[in-house]
Amino acid sequence: MLSMRAVTGLPIKYIGAGEKVDALEVFDARRVAGRILGQGDIVALVEKASQELDASKAEAMARKLAKGQFDLNDLAAQLQQMKKMGGLQGIMGMLPGVAKMKTQMADSGIDDRMILRQEAIISSMTKAERKKPDLLNASRKKRVASGAGVEVQDINRLLKQHRQMADMVKSMAKGGPRKMQQMAAMLGGVGGGGNGMGGPDMARLKAMGGGKMPEPSEDELKALQDRLAGLGGGQLPGGLPGLPGFPKK
């Protein structure tokens, strides 16, 4: 990229962020440098969330969460939202201070292929099973596993993850506005803003004017930890020094 700039003498306007035609981003030297240095790019993450967020679906999700409801259809919607945001690796690459988690996540089997497997599992269920996971007995799990091309233990791992998230939703729905905001950050997209469903936090975006990439809040990092820990069926290995709520080395 720098070589092309030197040879042509022309400014760089856009950069490719993926293999698809629409995977183009406006080039910003400071933000690109921040990604390379592991400082992330919160602005790009918020912009991506704003572009991909469906307002009507977000409102419907908010109403369900407020009632303490969270079924496998909702989990599938969250997985699809993560894919639209660039996948797990893409989201992690835009978060400051968590670049080291990528290797640890890969070692734990937490990657974009895992999201595809989970989507396949949920798609192999009936509408009734997605709405009421308790219907999934041993024979139904075998059928779903065969249809999704996975093992029964993968079904159990997904159901455990869903149960943890559903319990969290019920608990936070009773905890008032602050708890609901934390829940929105965990379920509505990493780095959720003041609207409770992953919208931009303009106060934090203004911090970009000082030339320094803003660090995520402790609540956001804790939300990220809670959300990722269940994906691989266990805890992330090793220590993550400097991140609130994570074990120290």
- Domains of the chain by range and CATH? 1-37 (no CATH), 41-229 (1.10.260.30)
What predicted TM-score, i.e. pTM, was given to this entire model? 0.57
Distance CA 66, CA 122 (A): 23
Would you tell me how many other CB atoms lie within 10 Å of the CB of residue 137? Answer: 8
Distance CA 191, CA 42 (A): 8
Task: Tell me the per-residue pLDDT of 137-196, one tens digit each, with 9 for 90 and over.
Answer: 999 999 999 999 999 999 999 999 999 999 988 888 777 666 666 655 555 443 333 343
Residue 45 per-residue DSSP state:
H
Neighbouring C-alpha atoms within 13 Å toward the C-beta of 166: 18
Give pLDDT, residue 153: 95
Task: Tell me the per-residue pLDDT of 80-112, one tens digit each, with 9 for 90 and over.
Answer: 888 887 777 777 777 776 666 666 766 666 778
Distance CA 49, CA 106 (A): 24
pLDDT band at 117 (very low <50, low <70, confident <90, very high): very high
Task: Tell me the per-residue pLDDT of 205-217, one tens digit each, with 9 for 90 and over.
Answer: 444 444 444 455 5
Portion of the chain with pLDDT greater than 90, in percent: 22
**Residue 228 backbone dihedrals phi, psi, to 5 degrees:** -80, -30
Distance CA 171, CA 180 (A): 10
Residue type for position 230: G
